[in-house]
């Protein structure tokens, strides 16, 4: 269950950003990109986040996970392809190995949505 640690890392990173703001904002959504070829299960991440955010500055925040499929690139065939994770990673055309990964390794906080009380400078 290292999603627990991943969630800790996530909260630490967001907290660093949050405390740097002149007025700590009210965070509503955290957008994550999780690759199919990263060692993380999105559902476990959501579960861990729901329990760890309680009684913190992220209590009202929601996790929005975008799952990024594994896309490999075969140089000899000059084409991208989608390996069948768990079954087959070779290029479907030439049977060459998966030597280059184009996407699917992501484990990234993409952006944060937040609200601030509107206080016009009069």
Partner 1 sequence: MHQTFDHALEVNLLHANQAGADHNRAHLDAWGVTCLNFMSGPGAGKTSLLERTLHSLTPALKVAVIEGDMTTDLDAQRLRQCRVPVIAINTGRCCHLDAKMVAGGLRQWAREHNPAEFDLLFVENVGNLVCPAEFAVGEHAKVALLSITEGEDKPLKYPLMFQQADCLVVTKLDLAPYLQVDLDRIIAHVRQINPQVPIFPLSAQTGVGFSPWLAWLHAQLSPQIHEKALFA
Select 87 or 122, whichever has its Cβ closest to partner 1: 87
Select 1 or 59, whichever has its Cβ closest to partner 1: 1
Residue 26 sits in the site that holds partner 1 (CB under 8 A):
yes
Axis-axis angle for helices 3-20, 42-52 (nearest 10): 60
Cα angle, residue 62 at apex, residues 57 and 64 outer, rounded to 5°: 135
Question: Whole-angstrom Cα distance, residue 105 to residue 39?
Answer: 9
| DSSP assignment letter at 59 | T
Shortest Å, Cβ 54 to partner 1: 19
Select 80 or 116, whichever has its Cβ closest to partner 1: 116
Applying the rule CB under 8 A, the residues between 45 and 104 that interact with partner 1 are 85-90, 97-99
Shortest Å, Cβ 55 to partner 1: 21
Q: Which residues of 73-87 are buried (b: 16+ CB within 10 A; e: fewer)?
A: bbeeeeeebebeeee
Other C-beta atoms closer than 10 Å to the C-beta of 112 total 15
According to DSSP, the β-strands at 71-74 and 62-68 are unpaired
Applying the rule CB under 8 A, the residues between 29 and 48 that interact with partner 1 are 32, 37-40
| Binding positions for partner 1, rule: CB under 8 A | 1-2, 5-6, 9-10, 12-14, 17, 25-26, 28, 32, 37-40, 85-90, 97-99, 107-118
């Amino acid at each position: 269950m290292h999603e627990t640690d991943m969630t800790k890392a996530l909260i630490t990173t967001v907290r660093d950003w949050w405390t740097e703001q002149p007025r700590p904002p009210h965070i509503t959504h955290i957008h994550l990109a999780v690759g199919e070829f990263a060692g993380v299960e999105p559902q476990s991440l959501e579960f861990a986040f729901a329990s760890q955010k309680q009684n913190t500055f992220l209590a009202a925040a929601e996790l929005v996970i975008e799952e990024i499929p594994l896309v490999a690139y075969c140089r000899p065939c000059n084409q991208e392809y989608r390996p069948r994770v768990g079954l087959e990673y070779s290029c479907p055309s030439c049977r060459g190995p998966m030597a280059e990964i184009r996407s699917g390794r992501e484990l990234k906080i993409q952006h944060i949505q937040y609200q601030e009380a509107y206080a016009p400078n009069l």
